[in-house]
């Protein structure tokens, strides 16, 4: 029997307790899957007789709460496709080019009575339409005039027996023109035009044709517009026929050069000037030669020059006053029509049915004047 009060027995008991505690710890570790290391309580030295001490029960193993399993990671979803691009509005349509209309009419009337009896009328209209790089121009003019000239009748002694007036047509011409401009750039233009006219007093019942070429703005600013044109001109001329004589029509192929200036003198007054030259390139086989009366005109011997200068000023908002001067030179003019009034020399008569013609020795009488001029004072009304 062990004496519990014996110190040696007490040491043995303590050792047994430590063994039991270790065995318990091992069992708990195997049972709970976890090892709890616990040192035995150190032995307190005693100075007196050892007190009977009950062995301290081993600290109960902490109930190990099973940790909740970590939630399974969701598989990475496939990346979402990018959203479709937002619908964008279609690009704005380019602005529609502004259409510029210009329509202008002009008219002039002259009537005299008394010693000079004449009536002259001039009517014209021109218009243009410009849209973007395209411009179209149309114009037309008609001039007509009649005059009553004094004609005296004398007897064989030269004494005047009567004085009458013979009415004759003094002005009879018309002209039309159409032109299309294509602006390649601001200063470069390709053009095509056609023009037809008639002037019976000058011996031409119909003349006209077409032109194509290139126009260049040499200078353009607030006050000036200077341009030059180079191109080709085709002309057709048909003449007034004479009794007992056939005059064939003529076709002419020419080089064309033009220089023009538009000058703004003030905000209401402007000046225009232009010079056009046409140089025939072909031999005009059927043309009558005004230099010697023969048939045929060589190249560069039928030069035509047209010059015009004019000034206009605004009187009211849409009404303007214009003054212009035109000069035309024709190196080989048309055959001159026989005058409608022929008076026999004093004391003689012209038998009925006599063919009136120019004498061969005075062939120069057969052709019209080489230079024509026209001075106009007109009122111009602008509709647009």
- Better pLDDT: 283 or 317: 283
Q: Above 90 in pLDDT, residue 350? A: no
* Nearest one of 177, 249, 248 to 210, comparing CA atoms: 177
- pLDDT greater at residue 237 or residue 43: 237
Pairing, β 295-297 against β 250-264: unpaired
Q: pTM (2 decimals)? A: 0.69
- Please determine, for residue 283, whether its predicted confidence score (pLDDT) is greater than 50: yes
Domain boundaries, the chain: 1-35, 101-382
Distance, first Cα to last Cα, the chain: 146
**The pLDDT of residue 79 is above 80:** no
User: Span 210-225, mean pLDDT?
Assistant: 95
pLDDT, one tens digit per residue, over 317-343 is 899 999 999 999 999 999 988 776 666
Scanning the chain, the segments in alpha helix (DSSP H) are 7-32
Q: Which of 62-76, 85-99, 166-180, 317-331 has the lowest mean pLDDT?
A: 62-76
Which of the following CATH numbers is that of domain 101-382: 2.170.190.11, 1.10.10.1100, 3.90.105.20, 2.40.160.40? 2.40.160.40
DSSP-assigned letter for residue 291: T
**Contacts made by residues 363-369, CB under 8 angstroms, sequence distance 24+:** 363/292, 363/293, 364/290, 365/336, 366/288, 366/293, 366/335, 366/336, 367/203, 367/288, 367/290, 367/333, 367/334, 367/335, 367/336, 368/202, 368/203, 368/330, 368/333, 368/334, 368/335, 368/336, 369/333
For the ranges 1-15, 167-181, 208-222, 278-292, the lowest mean pLDDT is seen at 1-15
Radius of gyration of the CA atoms of the chain, in A = 60
Q: How far apart are CA 107 and CA 75, in angstroms?
A: 95
Judged by phi (left if over 0) then psi (alpha if -120 to 50, else beta), residue 285 lies in: alpha
């Amino acid at each position: 029997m062990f004496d519990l009060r014996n110190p040696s027995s007490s040491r043995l008991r303590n050792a047994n307790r430590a063994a039991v505690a270790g065995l318990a710890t091992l069992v708990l570790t195997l049972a709970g899957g976890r090892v709890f290391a616990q040192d035995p309580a150190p032995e307190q030295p005693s100075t007196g007789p050892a007190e009977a001490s009950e062995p301290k029960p081993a600290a109960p193993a902490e109930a190990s709460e099973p940790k909740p399993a970590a939630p399974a990671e969701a598989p990475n979803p496939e990346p979402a496709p990018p959203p479709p691009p937002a619908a964008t509005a279609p690009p704005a349509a380019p602005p529609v080019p502004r259409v510029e209309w210009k329509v202008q009419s002009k008219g002039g009337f002259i009537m005299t009575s008394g010693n000079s009896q004449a009536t002259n009328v001039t009517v014209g209209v021109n218009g243009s339409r410009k849209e973007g790089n395209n411009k179209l121009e149309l114009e037309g003019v008609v001039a007509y005039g009649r005059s009553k000239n004094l004609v005296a009748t004398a007897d064989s002694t030269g004494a005047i027996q009567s004085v009458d007036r013979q009415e004759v047509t003094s002005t009879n011409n018309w002209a039309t023109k159409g032109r299309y401009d294509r602006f390649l750039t601001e200063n470069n233009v390709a053009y095509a035009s056609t023009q037809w006219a008639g002037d019976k007093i000058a011996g031409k019942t119909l003349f006209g044709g077409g032109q194509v070429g290139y126009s260049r703005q040499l200078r353009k600013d607030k006050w000036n517009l200077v341009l030059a044109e180079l191109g080709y001109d085709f002309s057709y001329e048909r003449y007034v026929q004479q009794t007992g004589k056939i005059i064939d029509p003529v076709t002419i192929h020419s080089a064309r050069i033009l220089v023009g200036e538009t000058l703004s003198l003030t905000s209401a007054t402007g000046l225009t000037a232009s010079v056009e030259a046409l140089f025939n390139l072909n031999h005009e086989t059927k043309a009558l030669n005004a230099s010697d009366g023969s048939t045929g005109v060589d190249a560069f011997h039928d030069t035509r020059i047209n010059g015009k200068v004019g000034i206009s000023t605004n009187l009211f908002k849409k009404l303007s006053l214009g003054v212009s001067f035109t000069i035309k030179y024709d190196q080989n003019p048309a055959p001159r029509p026989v005058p409608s009034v022929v008076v026999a020399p004093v004391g003689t008569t012209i038998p009925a049915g006599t063919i009136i013609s120019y004498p061969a020795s005075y062939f120069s009488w057969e052709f019209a004047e080489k230079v024509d001029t026209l001075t106009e004072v007109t009122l111009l009304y602008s509709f647009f």
